[in-house]
Structure 1
Amino acid sequence: MIPLWQGSCNQWDCDEMGHMNVRLYVEKQAEGLIAFAHALGLPEAFRASAPATIVPVDQHIRFVREVLPGRPISMQGCVLEIGESDAVLYQELRHLDGSLSASFRTRIIHIDTAEGERFPWTAKTRAKMEALRGEAPAEALPRSIEPDAPGLPAVDITLARAQAAKAPRIGMAAVPPGHCGVHGWMEPSWFIGRLSDMVPNLLFDWRSRVGRKDGEKRIGGAVLEYRLRYHRLPRAGDLIVAHSSFGGINGKTHSLVHWLLDPVSGNAWASTQVVAITLDLDARKAVPAPPEMIAELERLAPPGLGV
């Protein structure tokens, strides 16, 4: 493990649930990726003049302990797998006492910035990757999502298929210049950030009624695990819509599948699987949704989409 980032959670990093928003986790992970690039001998990768860079294509995130305002956190990481033009990197955020906050398992690819085409790592970079090989600790391993499970081909993730499955649209947005990085693509953290903004359109009323059934509790939600597949990176001026589908239930957790799509072309930007809980905001504990509420969620977002 090598150190990649160190800081704290600000009040403005937190959302209505009172803890650090998922977008900020990925934002900090992306900062750690820049530090990783330096360690791999690719210090120019995230500069505007870079002929080549690294981008995520498949990411698994596990949220273990929430981060509250003012709490210090730090990141370290290692290399899990090395391919010809791709690699799997492990990054983890830990609290000051050493307890795990979140883990990230990210498959990256090496591309040229002009055409976005993949090309092999150099021998020098591969040697540096080999020197940073390590293993993820057991407490950080995936639980409810298989990160290496085959995903749907991007050509099958379309607006027409979402509409045919009667998956409701839960949000729409445009990409402003401020959300794009030095290479002109939307920063990866805004995929999960946009979804965080959009999901209340599906779940706000549902969660409030779960709270009433559980004794008028103040109810929110928390994500436990996430798989995010990046198919294309939008640019400033592009449009995004999100459609959602019920993915199942396991104990106190429920799963949803979200597709982020281009409403102009109908093609995919990203596809995601999310495992979440309904959260008692005062006790900071999971609240099991009654069977009739799960059935209602399935009616609100009919099954049918895959990641």
Structure 2
Amino acid sequence: MNVRVYVEKQVEGLAAFAPSLGMPHAFRANSPSTIIPVDQHIRFVREVLPGRPLTMNGCVLEAGEDDALIYQELRHGDGSLAACMRTRVLHVDTTMRKPFPWSSRTRQAIPDVTDTAPEESAPRSIDMSAPGLPHSEITLDRVKQVGAPLAGRGAVPPQHLDVHGHMYPYWMLGRTSDSVPNILYNWRKKVAESAGDLRMGAAVLEYRLRYHDMPVAGDLYELYTSFGGAQGKTHNLIHWMMNPANGKPWATMQATAITLDLDARKAIPAPPDMIRGLSEMAAPGLEI
């Protein structure tokens, strides 16, 4: 299942969870307020295959005056964990997208849906306590200084918008996922060849996504990819989805990824010279 689809299910699950927060209106077109993501962790644990049963559950982990940390998980039919998501959300008005305090109804509902996440769902390779770069430091000028390559660009189509007229978060991830092969396909192919000419694919194990602004129809975007280091069989990539009209970010992302043996369904380790090649192709220097 493509990474985009996991976030699509997460968004749908959040809409289904909203009535439990006293916000049955949150994802309707005429709603005065809604819930938007600002910081998200996703961990992909066990592969999801077409036609297999999946169940989503969720809870509130913590809540502030106008924000909350929501936990959601997908489990297979046998109860094993498929994927888990921790999403920091803001309560905002739908006109100006400005945060404002939860209603008394929501504040009363939150304790009833607050719980803890299972230990097996904890982040592994990504530190969610790291504050991330200040918004003012995420600029196209920084991209040029680093020399990070352009992985993709495009325009936001109307069919990718939510009921409030902004791009769905999962399409921001989907457009990024679609663009990465423009930088990495040939590199992954060489890694597979060095391991015995294996059938090659790619898989992301973990993601962190920071949503800085949500595009509307017709807005342009540019995607830049930077090498974020390697450890064992994994490598880290930093993606910046930028607004070329003003040089500011739509989203920034950190991915822990592997090159995958499609037959054995196992990670293919990249030799040191291949890692050096990756750092030359996707210049390091961008940060989440």
- Sort the TM-score into its range (normalised by shorter chain): over 0.9
1:159 and 2:140 correspond: yes
- Give runs of aligned pairs for residues 82-97 of structure 1, distance below 5 A: 82-97=63-78
Residue 11 of structure 1 corresponds to none
- Equivalents in 2 of 1:241, 1:71: separation in Å? 35
Partner amino acid, structure 2, of 1:210 = V
- Equivalents in 1 of 2:129, 2:6: separation in Å? 21
**Alpha-carbon offset, residue 146 of structure 1:** 1.1
- Equivalents in 2 of 1:277, 1:255: separation in Å? 9
Residue 118 of structure 2 corresponds to 137
Structure 1 gaps of 5+ residues are 1-19
**Alpha-carbon offset, residue 131 of structure 1:** 1.0
Partner amino acid, structure 1, of 2:151 = I
Partner amino acid, structure 2, of 1:204 = Y
Could you tell which deviates more after superposition, 151-160 or 48-57?
151-160
Residue 265 of structure 1 corresponds to 246
- Equivalents in 2 of 1:204, 1:218: separation in Å? 13
- Equivalents in 1 of 2:175, 2:219: separation in Å? 14
Residue 2 of structure 2 corresponds to 21
Matched position secondary structure for 2:154:
strand
Residue 241 of structure 1 corresponds to 222
- Equivalents in 1 of 2:62, 2:132: separation in Å? 19
**Alpha-carbon offset, residue 32 of structure 1:** 0.3
Divergent runs of 4+, >4 A: none
Partner amino acid, structure 1, of 2:176 = L
- How many aligned positions are there? 288
**Alpha-carbon offset, residue 155 of structure 1:** 1.6
- Equivalents in 2 of 1:127, 1:294: separation in Å? 52
- Give runs of aligned pairs for residues 284-303 of structure 1, distance below 5 A: 284-303=265-284
Pick the aligned partner of 1:200 from 162, 177, 181.
181
Residue 305 of structure 1 corresponds to 286
Matched position secondary structure for 1:128:
helix
Matched position secondary structure for 1:189:
helix
- Equivalents in 1 of 2:155, 2:79: separation in Å? 39
Pick the aligned partner of 1:117 from 98, 105, 117.
98
- Give runs of aligned pairs for residues 76-87 of structure 1, distance below 5 A: 76-87=57-68
Matched position secondary structure for 2:28:
coil
Residue 68 of structure 1 corresponds to 49
Pick the aligned partner of 1:56 from 33, 37, 45.
37
**Alpha-carbon offset, residue 124 of structure 1:** 1.7
- Summarize deviations over 1:178-197 as a string: whole Å, max 9, x none: 00011000001011101110
Identity %: 59
1:250 and 2:270 correspond: no
**Alpha-carbon offset, residue 286 of structure 1:** 0.6
**Alpha-carbon offset, residue 71 of structure 1:** 1.0
Residue 173 of structure 1 corresponds to 154
- Summarize deviations over 1:189-220 as a string: whole Å, max 9, x none: 01110111000001100000111101010111
Matched position secondary structure for 2:278:
helix
**Alpha-carbon offset, residue 148 of structure 1:** 2.3
**Alpha-carbon offset, residue 123 of structure 1:** 2.0
Partner amino acid, structure 2, of 1:219 = M
Pick the aligned partner of 1:43 from 6, 18, 24.
24
Residue 11 of structure 2 corresponds to 30
Structure 2 gaps of 5+ residues are none
